[in-house]
């Protein structure tokens, strides 16, 4: 069995050691690197190309948000799962915008973190259940009002499928391969769908996906 390669980015050694023990106790994953600040995390990710980086939001030199943004620019194929104590959905929006594939609270159970790692490694977007309902309460109704459009805004089946895959964390090249399309065609479907829905960012796509129930099983 090929194990998932995990890079841990956490500045508190005690927490990092605990995460390492947890991950290495699983038969399908292993820790291949550790970083105690965001700058080292980006450097190691470029060198090791892990499947998933478990990224603490609050770190020195580069915080989790800055490190995620830089890492995704350098290594777009590497998935980032952010780990934080913050329950403010403002953090969630910023991290998703930066390219993170998931968001897990530090106070969640170990099983939740392991589930999240496997989900983002599989190309899904994972939101901690403890904050999902809070986010829903903020965006229900607001999205429709902001868009001024019906739920599907006359999206074609292919446009909706492209949006769903983007929300689940796939990049254009992966979507093209999955749907047997060219990257240019995927980009066209994405642009048309976003125009119809009045979307301007990946955060908008994820919000829409949540309202449609596309992420509830991730």
Is the same domain home to 99 and 196? no
Q: Give the residue from 87, 103, 129 where a domain finishes.
A: 129
Tell if the pTM clears 0.75, that is, is over it: no
Lowest-confidence pick of 65-74, 106-115, 130-139, 198-207 = 130-139
Which residue has 């991730």 as its token pair? 218
Is the same domain home to 59 and 100? yes
Q: First and final CA of the chain: distance in angstroms? A: 23
Q: What is the tally of structural domains in the chain?
A: 2
CA 95 – CA 83 distance, rounded (Å): 11
Q: Which domain holds residue 58?
A: 4-129
- Inside any domain, residue 135: no
Is the same domain home to 83 and 179? no
Is the same domain home to 45 and 123? yes
Q: Give the residue from 94, 129, 164 where a domain finishes.
A: 129
Tell me the average pLDDT across 59-64: 90
CA 211 – CA 142 distance, rounded (Å): 11
Q: How confident is the model at residue 144 (pLDDT cuts 50, 70, 90)?
A: very low
Taking only the tens place, the pLDDT of each residue in 149-168 is 445 568 898 999 999 888 87
Q: How confident is the model at residue 93 (pLDDT cuts 50, 70, 90)?
A: confident
Strand duo 4-9 + 52-56: pairing:
parallel
CA 171 – CA 158 distance, rounded (Å): 16
Is the same domain home to 156 and 94? no
- Inside any domain, residue 134: no
Summary mean pLDDT of the chain: 84
Q: What is the CATH number of the domain that holds 145?
A: 1.10.10.10
Lowest-confidence pick of 11-20, 106-115, 130-139, 202-211 = 130-139
Q: How confident is the model at residue 70 (pLDDT cuts 50, 70, 90)?
A: very high
- Inside any domain, residue 93: yes
Is the same domain home to 119 and 146? no
Is the same domain home to 80 and 163? no
Q: How confident is the model at residue 189 (pLDDT cuts 50, 70, 90)?
A: very high
């Amino acid at each position: 069995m090929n194990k998932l390669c995990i890079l841990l980015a956490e500045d508190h050694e005690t927490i990092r050691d605990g995460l390492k023990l947890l991950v290495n106790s699983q038969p399908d994953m292993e820790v291949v690197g550790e970083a105690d600040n965001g700058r080292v995390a980006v450097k190691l990710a470029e060198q090791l190309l892990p499947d998933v980086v478990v990224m603490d939001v609050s770190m020195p030199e580069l915080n989790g948000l800055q490190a995620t943004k830089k890492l995704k620019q350098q290594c777009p194929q590497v998935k980032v799962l952010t780990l934080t104590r913050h329950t403010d959905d403002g953090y969630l929006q910023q991290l998703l915008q930066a390219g993170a594939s998931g968001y897990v609270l530090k106070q969640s159970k170990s099983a939740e973190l392991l589930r999240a790692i496997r989900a983002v490694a599989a190309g899904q977007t994972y939101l901690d259940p403890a904050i999902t309902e809070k986010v829903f309460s903020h965006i229900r109704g607001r999205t429709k009002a902001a868009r001024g459009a019906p739920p599907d805004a006359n999206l074609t089946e292919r446009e909706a499928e492209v949006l769903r895959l983007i929300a689940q964390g796939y990049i254009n090249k992966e979507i093209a391969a999955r749907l047997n399309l060219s990257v240019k065609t995927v980009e066209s479907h994405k642009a048309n769908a976003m125009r119809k829905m009045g979307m301007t960012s990946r955060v908008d796509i994820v919000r829409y996906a949540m309202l449609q129930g596309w992420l509830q099983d991730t």
